[in-house]
Structures are given as C-alpha cells and as structure tokens.
C-alpha cells in the first residue's frame, strides 16, 4: 500500500504538476543544448551562455537527462522520469539512514514525514528538474554508510562516504554550505566533548568531498570555459552570493524564522524537536554522537537559512529533511516505540486499569502525528490530481502553430525555450539577480537598466510570470510599440501574454 501510494505521488500527472517554470526551464536548457548542439551550456539568440544553470546545478542532474533525451527524444516527461528515479532513490537512502538510527518503526515514520511535509516539499521538488532531491540522495546515502560503519570504517568506506558527500555538493552548492561546516563542527565536538571516534572518520570524508567539489569547479570554471568567461562566472558567483546566500537582512531574518515556526513545518513542532534533538545528542556514546552529528547538520542549515539567506524555502530543504528523523524519534519516545496499545486503552476505559491518563496521552500524541502526516498528504494529492492550468504548454502550442521559427522572441521565461524550438532572447542572469535585490531588498527595478526591447525591437515579446513579477516590460512601452496577440491567464502567477511588433523607431 505504501509503495503504491509513493508511486502515485511520484508519477501521476507528472508533466502537469508542478507546472514547469523559470528554474526548471533554465536547467532543461543544458541537456537540450548538449543533445542538439553537443555543447554543455545555456543558450540564447546571441549564442551559448556559460553561466546560470551550468553553475547552479551539477552534471549529476544534467548528464542523465541528456542521456534520456538521446535515447527517447527531448521532452519534459523524459526529464521528469529521470528526476523521479532520483526521488525514489533519495527516499530509499533516507529510509536506510533512519533504519540504522532507530529501527523499522522509526524509519517508516521518519520517511513518511519526509515524503508528506509541506515544509520539506519533497514530492513537489522531486517531480521537477531541480538539484535539491538528487543532492539529498547523495547526502543521505553518504550519511547512511558513514553512520553504519562509524569508528570501524576503513579507508575505502570513508572515501566512498566522502565521494557521496562530494557528489551532493557538486549537484547543488547549498549542500557545500551544509556538509563542510557539519564535518568541521562534528570533528570539533568529537575533540572537545565526545572524544569517542577516531579523527579519520571526519577528516577523510571531508578531504575527499571537498576535493570532488573542487575538481568539478576547476574543470568547469578554469578549464571548460574561456578565461574571460571564467572571470565573468566568478564575478556572477560573487554577486549571486551577495544577493541570495549572504544577505544578512534583519527583516528577512524575522520572516525566515517565522516560516520555520509555522504550521507548514511539522505543524509548528520544529523548535521543541530541536531542543529534544540536543538532549538525545548529549550522551557520550556512539548513538548520542551520531544524533549529535545530524543535529549539527540541521542547525547549520537552518541557522544559515534564517540569518544569511534570501529566505526561499528550498534553502532550508537539507536541514528540514534530516529534521524529520528527530520528529520521528520525538514521537517514538513519547509513545513507547509508537505502540498503539488499543486493548490496554479499552481496558483502562472500562476501569480495569488505573493508568487511563497514560494511554489517553499516548493516543492523543499518535493522533497529533497522524494529523501531521495526513494534512499535508491530502493537500499534495489534491494538487497532483487537480493541478492548475498548464499555461506554459498552452502558450508553447500556440507558438508552434502561429509564430515562425526564425522570428526573434524576447522573454524572461526560459521554460519556453525548452518547450519550443523558436529563436529566443533570454534575459541575462544579471537581471535576475537585480530582480531578487529589487523584490527582497528594495533595490532599483530591473526595468530601469534593461532596455533590450527598446534597442533591438524583437519581433515578439512574451511576458510570463517572472516578467510580471518584476514588471520588466512596462505596459506603456509595450503599448507604444507592440500589440497584444494572445493571452493565457489563470490565477497569479500563471499568466502568459504574447505581443507582436508594430513599429520600431
């Protein structure tokens, strides 16, 4: 039953939920370009772009999708099926990690929490071409192997642990911000407090992981790209860090903390569970130290999310995923190993046992856990069964039927470049970073500095959710030079408008 439900959540209506969007569209450009042109890059009308998606998501995602395109043709279904394989593998690796920590019942509950939680959003992210879930697979597999062997681990096992962690970092850079501080702090805790594990179990995986990540960065930035492009990418990475990863905004800190304490995150249980996690990490034994290492990982990620990040929920994904282990353990201890005890409750209700309050408390706790699982599960199932209108596909179909392939289309919606083979000019990534600063930090609007439409007069302008989000193409400018051809509209942000050129001064 559980496997059937999981397959339904992973596969049903796969191309319609979630509706493809900006991030997924930009990631899909890379495998499409690799198959069509033999180049590992993003693309636009002016040529290939060696920034954006090839830097933000690693070859562990791009190359398997390119292989699927080569074998079965280019399409969203093929790409998302690859991601579903990663999703199922991540769930299995996480289950093995939980099983090693606390046995079968805890593993089932922890995995169910991981799958259903709206704060984690595993199913939503796992059905898209994003880096979070593949990164979780590599991290969970590495953690499971690491903790299973622990102080008895040999050189080969520790190197494999480091390789898996390194692949997680290569897949998505946010895992670098989580795993390297975790390894360093876990080593420090071992030196100063636990004093139980040999130093090699922290140092060797860390060295292998950082070497794996560094080799990919050296190849990508210094060898694969031209020197000029490499320097531009380094500057872009610096700007991106300042825009989304090292923000330090008091207002955002307040909002980020508010989100973590909301009902979307384990029904508001995250704070007490983190306190509980610290308590079970205190014993200076193997079990306590392993829980302590995972607790450090969660705290490192969530502290960065609150204090320094722009506050996108995806940035808390690694920590909230591992936090489900602590939530499951918390309920496991409150209910004596998740024992239902229905017969004892019935006997207590009939007056045959004196500890009615104990059984009532256990059932109330289990009911709370059931609500924590069922509430977000029903929401996700409803979204999968009845998703919003697939407006990107509708617009793509219109373009294929009515717009010549050689016409130049200006847009801020990279998903359209995957769904059709028209000639697009995509907004540069520098404008995206400016848009982020504008929306979250009160910076100047991108429309003040982006004038491609005014200068180049493209044949069409396709205005979608991201362009509407920041008003990139002002209405007065469009009204002066363009006419509205077609509009596909639903509730925000699902809105696409196509404008055709009237005149160019």
- Predicted confidence at residue 240, as pLDDT, reads 65
Contacts of 74 (CB under 8 A, 6+ apart): 32, 35, 36
Show the domain range for 442: 391-501
Instruction: Give residue 233's pLDDT.
Output: 66
148 and 254 share one domain: yes
Residue 380: inside a domain: no
β-sheet bridge partners, residue 410: 425, 461
131 & 272 share domain = yes
176 and 28 inside one domain: yes
More confident residue, 308 or 139: 139
Q: Of 315, 333, 351, which closes a domain?
A: 333
Q: Look up the pTM and report it.
A: 0.93
Assess if residue 84 is contained within a domain: yes
Q: Give the DSSP per-residue string, 324-344.
A: HHHHHHHHHHHTTTT---HHH
15-59 confidence digits (pLDDT tens): 999 999 999 999 999 999 999 999 999 999 999 998 889 988 999
**What digits encode the pLDDT tens for the residues 388-407?**
899 999 999 999 999 999 99
Say yes or no: 322 and 430 in one domain. no
Q: What angle do CA 209, 211, 214 make, to 5 degrees?
A: 110
pLDDT at residue 355 tops 60: no
Looking at residue 349, what is its pLDDT?
Answer: 45
461: in domain = yes
- Which whole number is the average pLDDT over 481-501? 86
Total number of domains constituting the chain: 2
Q: Does residue 147 share a domain with residue 38?
A: yes
Q: Are residues 323 and 456 in the same domain?
A: no
Give the per-residue pLDDT at 227: 62
At 5, list the tokens: 């439900």
Residues 19 and 124 in one domain: yes
pLDDT of residue 348: 45
Least confident interval from 145-159, 186-200, 215-229, 383-397? 215-229
pLDDT at 238: 65
**For 257-306, what is each residue's pLDDT tens digit?**
999 999 999 999 999 999 999 999 999 999 999 999 999 999 999 999 99
Same domain for 11 and 93? yes
Same domain, 402 and 295: no
Provide the pLDDT confidence category of residue 382 given band limits of 50, 70 and 90.
very high
Which of 284, 307, 333 lies at the terminal end of a domain, its last residue? 333
Give the model's pLDDT for residue 430.
85
Q: Please, which pLDDT band fits residue 440 given cuts at 50, 70 and 90? A: confident
Average pLDDT over residues 163-179: 96
Does 435 score more than 50 pLDDT? yes
Same-domain check for residues 179 and 31: yes
Q: 308 with 425, same domain?
A: no
* Residue 346, domain member (yes or no): no
> Do the Cβ atoms of 395 and 416 come closer than 8 Å?
yes
End residue of a domain, out of 314, 333, 352: 333
More confident residue, 317 or 432: 317
Q: Which of 39-53, 58-72, 431-445 has the highest mean pLDDT?
A: 58-72
Q: What is the pLDDT of residues 101-131, one digit of tens each?
A: 998 999 999 999 999 999 999 999 999 999 9
Pick from 330, 318, 338: nearest CA to 280: 330
Q: Which residues pair with 60 in a beta bridge?
A: none
Q: Is there a single domain that holds both residue 26 and residue 170?
A: yes
């Amino acid at each position: 039953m559980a496997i059937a439900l999981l397959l339904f959540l992973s596969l049903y209506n796969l191309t319609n939920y979630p509706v493809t969007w900006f991030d997924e569209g930009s990631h899909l450009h890379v495998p499409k370009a690799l198959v069509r042109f033999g180049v590992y890059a993003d693309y636009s009308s002016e040529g290939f772009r060696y920034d954006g998606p090839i830097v933000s998501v690693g070859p562990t995602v791009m190359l398997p999708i390119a292989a699927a395109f080569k074998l079965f043709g280019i399409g969203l279904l093929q790409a998302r099926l690859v991601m579903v394989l990663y999703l199922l593998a991540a769930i299995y690796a996480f289950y093995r990690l939980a099983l090693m920590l606390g046995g079968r019942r805890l593993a089932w509950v922890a995995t169910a929490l991981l799958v259903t939680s709206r704060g984690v959003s595993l199913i939503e992210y796992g059905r898209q071409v994003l880096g979070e879930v593949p990164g979780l697979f590599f991290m969970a597999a590495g953690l499971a192997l690491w903790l299973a062997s622990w102080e008895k681990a040999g050189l080969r096992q520790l190197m494999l642990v480091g390789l898996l962690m390194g692949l997680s970092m290569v897949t998505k850079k946010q895992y670098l911000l989580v795993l390297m501080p975790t390894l360093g702090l876990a080593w420090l805790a071992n030196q100063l407090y636990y004093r139980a594990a040999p130093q090699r179990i922290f140092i060797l995986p860390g060295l292998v992981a950082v070497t794996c990540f560094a080799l990919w960065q050296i190849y990508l930035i210094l060898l694969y790209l031209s020197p000029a492009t490499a320097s531009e990418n380094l500057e872009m990475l610096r700007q991106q860090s300042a825009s989304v990863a090292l923000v330090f905004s008091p207002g955002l800190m307040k909002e980020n903390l508010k989100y973590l304490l909301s009902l979307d995150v384990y029904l508001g249980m995250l704070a007490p569970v983190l306190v509980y996690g610290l308590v079970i990490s205190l014993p200076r034994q193997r079990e306590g130290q392993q829980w302590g290492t995972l607790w450090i990982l969660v705290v490192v990620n969530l502290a960065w999310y609150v204090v320094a990040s722009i506050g996108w929920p995806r940035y808390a994904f690694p920590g909230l995923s591992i936090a489900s282990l602590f939530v499951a353990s918390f309920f496991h201890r409150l209910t004596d190993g998740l024992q239902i005890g229905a017969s004892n409750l019935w006997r207590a209700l009939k007056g045959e046992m004196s500890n009615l309050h104990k059984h009532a408390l256990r059932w109330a706790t289990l009911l709370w856990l059931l609500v924590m699982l069922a509430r977000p599960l029903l929401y996700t199932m409803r979204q999968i069964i009845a998703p919003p209108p697939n407006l990107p596909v509708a617009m793509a179909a219109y373009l294929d039927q009515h717009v010549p392939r050689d016409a130049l289309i200006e847009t801020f919606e990279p998903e359209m470049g995957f769904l059709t083979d028209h000639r697009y000019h995509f907004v540069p990534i520098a404008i995206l970073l400016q848009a982020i600063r504008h929306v979250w930090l009160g910076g100047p609007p991108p429309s003040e500095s982006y004038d491609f439409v005014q200068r180049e007069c493209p044949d069409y302008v396709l205005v979608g959710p991201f362009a509407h989000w920041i008003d990139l193409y002002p209405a007065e400018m469009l009204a002066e030079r363009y006419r509205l051809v077609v509009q596909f509209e639903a509730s925000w942000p699902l809105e696409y408008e196509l404008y055709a050129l009237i005149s160019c001064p």
